[in-house]
Amino acid sequence: MEPFSPEQVEFFNKAAVTLPAVEEALQNLLLRVEKTESAIKEHP
């Protein structure tokens, strides 16, 4: 018996490609928030 069906393998492959992109987007968002917060503190 196969451990995973082709559909599941395809899903895992898509997830493996998508997750790093999502992680990068979150990092960029965090950086933007930090920049915005420091700008607000500097210019009240």
pLDDT at 43: 83
pLDDT digits (tens, 9 = 90+) for 4-44: 999 999 999 999 999 999 999 999 999 999 999 999 999 87
Residue 36 inside a domain? The answer is yes
Domain that holds residue 32: 16-42
**Do 4 and 12 touch, CB atoms closer than 8 A?**
yes
Residue 29 inside a domain? The answer is yes
pLDDT at 20: 96
How many domains is the chain built from? 1
Rounded Cα distance, 14 and 8, in Å: 10
Rounded Cα distance, 28 and 16, in Å: 19
Residue 11 inside a domain? The answer is no
Whose structure tokens read 């393998």?
Answer: 9
pLDDT at 13: 96
pLDDT at 1 over 80: no
The pairs formed by 6-14 with CB atoms below 8 angstroms and a separation of 24 or more are none
pLDDT at 2: 75
What's the pTM value of the predicted model, to 2 decimals?
A: 0.61
Residue 9 inside a domain? The answer is no
